[in-house]
Structure 1
Amino acid sequence: MTEAEFNELLDELMVAIEDAIDELDVDIDCESGNGMLTMQFENRSQIILSRQPALRQLWLAAKSGGFHFNYQSNEEQWVCDSTNEAFISMLNRFMSEQSGDEVELELG
């Protein structure tokens, strides 16, 4: 994957996440810039997504810890390099934990 392809994939993902959060009845503030997307919850906890172009990885930092994701082109999804779990499953779980509400983002 080229750096341009990597950045395009992550740009699309981060916009889709922000759009999906806007559709929720949960109070989550989003701020994007410098290759990062920061989600802040009412309790002031945060989830931060950041791109790592040199490694072609997406990194996620949450109260539960830090996780690194590689893009699996055959599955067309980001997968955690330590647990093999899909990114969206982990993000939904961490957002639910940190918001105190059930969060199920619909990306599409």
Structure 2
Amino acid sequence: MTQADSQPAYNAAIEETLIAVEDALDNCDVDMDYERSDSVLTITLEDNGTQVILSRQSAVQELWVAARSGGYHLKFEMPGWKCTTTGEDLPTLLDRVLTEQQGSAVSLGL
């Protein structure tokens, strides 16, 4: 399968993922705000103003996460997104970076 052939599946996976993250943020006990602008989801921790940013990278078919601790590139591998450097799945990675930036436990329940 060529990259062009897999683009619709990639786009569907990204959209589904961003919606799931937004839903999880709506139900989280930690005071966080988020804003979505097309393919970028910016999460702001209200206690300290730090941000975690998720962005679609269509050219390489990845989901990138930018956090205070660094940048993470995730590829979609069944059953979900997996970080190319840490091996973490997206729920584990997001909970970790949000917990580090918040200074207390954050669990999105993804």
Q: 1:88 aligns with which of 88, 91, 94?
A: 91
Instruction: Give the counterpart letter for 2:35 in structure 1.
Output: E
Q: 1:79 aligns with which of 79, 82, 94?
A: 82
Unaligned runs of 5+ in 2: none
Unaligned runs of 5+ in 1: none
Cα offset, 1:45, TM superposition? 0.5
Instruction: Give the counterpart letter for 1:40 in structure 2.
Output: T
Instruction: Give the counterpart letter for 1:79 in structure 2.
Output: K
Matched, 1:31 2:35: yes
Structure 1 Cα separation of the partners of residues 8 and 77 of structure 2:
16
Could you tell me the TM-score, scaled by structure 2's length? 0.89
Check the 8 A contact 1:26/1:101 in 2, yes or no. no
Identity %: 41
Structure 1 consecutive aligned stretches of length 4 or more whose deviation exceeds 3 Å:
none
Could you tell me the TM-score, scaled by structure 1's length? 0.90
Structure 1 Cα separation of the partners of residues 104 and 86 of structure 2:
24
Structure 2 Cα separation of the partners of residues 24 and 78 of structure 1:
21
> Aligned residues, how many?
105
